[in-house]
Amino acid sequence: MNIDSGDYPDYVSDIRKEGMLYAGFLRSKITEGRIRRIKIPENLPKGVSVFQAGDLDTKNFITVNKLRIPLLAAKEVRYRGEPVLLITAPTKEDLKLVRESIEIEYKEKEMLESVFSDLNGQTVLYQTLYTENDGEQPEATEPTLMSSFNTPIQEHFYPDSQGVFIEYTPARLKVIISSEWPKHVKETVKYITGLPGEKVMVMPAKSSPTFDGKIWQPSILAALASFAAVRLKKSIKLVLSKQEDILYSGKRAPGLFFIDAGIEESLKFRSLNFSFTYFCGAYFPFTKEMIETAAFGARYFYKSPSLKIRGEACSSKAPPTDFFSGISLPQFFFATEMFMNRLAKAKEVSPIELRLANLNHAFFRNINHEKKDIFPILLADLNNKTDFTRKYAAYEHMRKKKSSAFPVSVIHGIGLSTAFQANGLNMNKGRFNQVVRMSSTDEKTVKITVASIPGSRETRSVWKESAASVLGISAKNVALSYSFSDDAAANGPALLSGNISTINRLIKLCAAEMKEKRNTHGRNCEITVEKTSSDLQARNRKKYLYTSATCGAAVVEVSVKFLTMELIIEKVTLIIDCGYVNNRAVARQKIENAVIQSILWATRDESYQNLINESLFYYPGIDRIPEIEIIFCSSETGFEKGIGEIAYSLIPAALLSAIGQAINKDLKDMPISNERIFNIGEAEK
């Protein structure tokens, strides 16, 4: 399929076909228990079918990363909202009527107040332990500070609900789906229907690039819809309702963190201990990736002679969580950066000074693998831009004086955070391999085939420009298409859709090799080159990791109107070293959106349950968005790094630190709300 010609099918919700059936789920109303009986009325309207787990027989599951996840609950229900039945009907009205008329009886049932009320761990799914010691015995010394932090779930905004359309013809099955992992969808559909590869055609819908929060869940929809389509020999449209989508689709997993550290007079760490747990919901196939990514952050970002890391992933009674920008790093950086700010406050030093003393400067390299200590530059620039040190000291002074002074009407706070985004950290191998194939028959044109869906129109142009610049041709002559046919080695989900780095570098590698081959083989003969992400890492895996880290720092300024308990985010300033920026407008846009979504994550006012009762995920209008300034500190030319995720790591900690300073309280948990600000103030009195 050619990307350029706009060959994308429409949004799934737009597709309609004569004679198609509408499909929908009947979901469990209880949190945990066993299904005793399902009462289906006998006289169902004409054309209505109901599928149970038994109908799928031995194929009632999808396999993701070796984990089997049931499609329909067979006997046991593990979370509220788990699909129990799939119903297909000729009209939406029939679907609704049938759904209301079916009763499910449970035994040994447990009913929690809300879908998300029990996020506590059930079983440990994965655990990692790491210890590093310089020979001293840190256990003997008391930690300077110990603290715990909590992060909530995070929902992902996208306008079109998740869905799949299966076009059934006896010759083949066409699957139009909003998914970033079409290859997995295809594998799943092949397995469930038993059809050979050439009879299954998967087409990602227009909304696919926005689905990086739901990597494997679309495969469940595809599996069930294709099963029903083949069984009934009809085209099927299965689109989640807005409410279903908000309640039961994948979210960012909540995390619980304990950090303690000992610090010396020189402000350097003596010891650093991390202990964290992520709550993954009922099923989560990527526990290892999740925990190891957070552990990677713990291991390399700050330096300490004695370091202990204990990380685990637990299941919980909530709906399954999924991948989300940054996977587990934003939660980790929230805790760590809040901790650093608290430590700076306790030691009465500037947060910048404390960070500069402890950042793992050896970790950050430039493209030639030379040590390049980027953070002093970033922090100095950010300080100049925002006047952080002066403001911080002034607000600290006011904070300390406040208790005795007459209450002022507006109080200010400023917060700082630092973070990195390690692009494709554990994700560019095996199942997550990215592949680029480049072929040409003459010296003027070239065709690139990728297995990932570009995150945006600009990503596509960036890819083309990269190839064109290396080959010395016009970008207009570069054709881009994507393929996930059986023979393609490509199989990775477009996990890093916001991250153009991996694919872009593979394109550049391909182009360089093609240029070389043109010189040796002749200019106008047929040449094909293929590169996978293992090619990037083969030479030096460590080098690849270090050089690809995007570094950044952020300052958030807030004011709290004490008279009205109103929190106002005055300004958000980010400085980011993401290497060469191809298109500043696009880069800005990506970061701005991540900033807004991370503010949403950190400032949810009401409980999540209240929010979703409206069956509307609220995205702020333009009038509610604070001033956001983004500074690009481009270190090297011709070398791009990812930018999609770093704002999620930076903003919450800086924001909550700023609020904490304003209201003179150590905040530990997200989200913060007007009511919480007031209650904290009251408790203080």
Partner 1 sequence: MNISAENNRLSLVYMPTHLSEALELLTKNPDALIYAGGTDILSHQTTRMPVFNRQIISLRRVEELKIMRRYENFVEIGSAVTLGEILRRKESRFLPPVLKYAVQAIGTPALRNTATVGGNLAVSDRKLLLLPVLLILDSFLEVRSQHSTRFLEIKRFLDENNTIRLKPGEIITKIRVPTGRFNLYGFSTLPGCVIRTQDYFMMCYAVRKNRSVLEKINFAFNIDGRHIIRIKQTEDRLIGKKTPLLPSEIQEELKFFQTKTEGLLPFLPVYKKERIFNYFRLMLTQEMNRAAFIE
Partner 2 sequence: MIIPFTLNGEKTVIDIPGTKRVIDVLRENFGLQKTKASCYQGACGNCSILLDGHIVSSCTLPAFELKDRTVLTAEGYMKTEEYRRIDRAFNENSYYPCDFCRWGKIFAIHEFINSEENSSTESLTQALKGNQCNCTSPSLLLSIAEQIIKNERGTNPRPEYEHISRK
Is 604 a binder of partner 1 (CB under 8 A)? yes
Binding site partner of 144, from partner 2, partner 1, none, Cβ cut-off 5-8 A by kind: none
Residues 583-602 that bind partner 1 (CB under 8 A): 596, 599-600
3-state DSSP assignment of residue 147: strand
Q: Which is nearer to partner 2, 99 or 242 (CB)?
A: 242
Site string for partner 1, 394-413 (x = CB under 8 A): ---------------x----
Report whether 28 contacts 36 (CB < 8 A): no
CB of 42 to partner 1, least distance (A): 8
CB of 214 to partner 2, least distance (A): 15
Is the N-terminal amide bond of 671 cis, ω within 30° of 0? yes
- What single letter denotes the amino acid at residue 473? I
DSSP state of 480: E
Spatial separation of the C-alpha atoms in residues 548 and 542, rounded to whole Å: 10
Stretch that binds partner 1, among 321-329, 360-368, 525-533, 610-618 (CB under 8 A): 610-618
Instruction: Using CB under 8 A, pick the residue from 54, 522, 620, 638 that binds partner 1.
Output: 620
Instruction: Using CB under 8 A, pick the residue from 120, 197, 624, 684 that binds partner 1.
Output: 624
CB atoms within 10 A of CB 675: 11
* Phi, psi (deg, nearest 5) at residue 237: -120, 120
Residues 640-659 that bind partner 1 (CB under 8 A): none
Binding site partner of 369, from partner 2, partner 1, none, Cβ cut-off 5-8 A by kind: none
Residue reference for tokens 């994965």: 126
CB of 237 to partner 1, least distance (A): 15
Reading phi first (left if > 0) and then psi (alpha if -120 to 50, else beta), residue 6 is in: left
Non-local CB neighbours of 587 within 8 Å, separated by 6+ positions: 578, 581, 630, 632, 643
Cβ burial, residue 439 (10 Å; 0-12/13-18/19+): middle
Binding site partner of 157, from partner 1, partner 2, none, Cβ cut-off 5-8 A by kind: partner 2
Binding site partner of 622, from partner 2, partner 1, none, Cβ cut-off 5-8 A by kind: partner 2
CB of 562 to partner 1, least distance (A): 8
CB of 588 to partner 2, least distance (A): 5
CB of 426 to partner 1, least distance (A): 33
Using CB under 8 A, list all residues that contact partner 2.
10-11, 13-14, 16, 157-160, 206, 210, 242, 456-458, 583, 585-586, 588-589, 592-593, 596-597, 614, 616, 618-625, 628
CB of 621 to partner 2, least distance (A): 4
Spatial separation of the C-alpha atoms in residues 84 and 115, rounded to whole Å: 16
Q: Which is nearer to partner 2, 335 or 468 (CB)?
A: 468
Stretch that binds partner 1, among 169-177, 276-284, 345-353, 616-624 (CB under 8 A): 616-624
Q: What residues does 371 pair with on adjacent strands?
A: 365
Stretch that binds partner 1, among 35-43, 220-228, 448-456, 642-650 (CB under 8 A): 35-43
Q: Is the dihedral of CA 448, 635, 289, 672 positive or negative?
A: negative
CB of 570 to partner 1, least distance (A): 8
Binding site partner of 626, from partner 1, partner 2, none, Cβ cut-off 5-8 A by kind: partner 1
Helices (H), 52-146: 53-56, 92-101
Non-local CB neighbours of 531 within 8 Å, separated by 6+ positions: 435, 436, 506, 509, 510, 513
3-state DSSP assignment of residue 50: strand
Instruction: Using CB under 8 A, pick the residue from 232, 473, 479, 625 that binds partner 1.
Output: 625
Q: Which is nearer to partner 2, 246 or 506 (CB)?
A: 246
Stretch that binds partner 1, among 276-284, 437-445, 457-465, 605-613 (CB under 8 A): 605-613
Spatial separation of the C-alpha atoms in residues 33 and 107, rounded to whole Å: 6
Is 621 a binder of partner 1 (CB under 8 A)? yes
Binding site partner of 457, from partner 1, partner 2, none, Cβ cut-off 5-8 A by kind: partner 2
Is 682 a binder of partner 1 (CB under 8 A)? yes
DSSP state of 578: -
Spatial separation of the C-alpha atoms in residues 664 and 502, rounded to whole Å: 43
Non-local CB neighbours of 27 within 8 Å, separated by 6+ positions: 80, 81, 82, 83, 84, 244, 248
Q: Is the dihedral of CA 229, 230, 231, 235 positive or negative?
A: positive
Spatial separation of the C-alpha atoms in residues 352 and 664, rounded to whole Å: 20
Residues 131-170 that bind partner 1 (CB under 8 A): none
Binding site partner of 36, from partner 2, partner 1, none, Cβ cut-off 5-8 A by kind: none
CB of 586 to partner 2, least distance (A): 7
Report whether 659 contacts 567 (CB < 8 A): yes
Residues 548-577 that bind partner 1 (CB under 8 A): 562-569
Spatial separation of the C-alpha atoms in residues 244 and 316, rounded to whole Å: 19
How many residues bind partner 1, per CB under 8 A? Answer: 42
Instruction: Using CB under 8 A, pick the residue from 14, 41, 108, 131 that binds partner 1.
Output: 41
SS3 sequence of 458-519: HHHHHHHHHHHHHHCCCHHHEEEEECCCCCCCCCCCCCCCCCCHHHHHHHHHHHHHHHHHHH
CB of 93 to partner 1, least distance (A): 6
- Inter-CA distances, 408 with 568, 672, 680, 682, Å: 16, 21, 17, 16
Site string for partner 1, 89-108 (x = CB under 8 A): ---xx---xx--x-------
Spatial separation of the C-alpha atoms in residues 42 and 320, rounded to whole Å: 33
CB of 96 to partner 1, least distance (A): 8
Residue 370 half-sphere exposure, CB side, CA atoms within 13 Å? Answer: 4
Query: Which stretches of the chain bind partner 1, using CB under 8 A?
Result: 39, 41-45, 92-93, 97-98, 101, 409, 562-569, 596, 599-600, 603-606, 610-611, 615, 618, 620-621, 624-626, 673-675, 678-679, 682
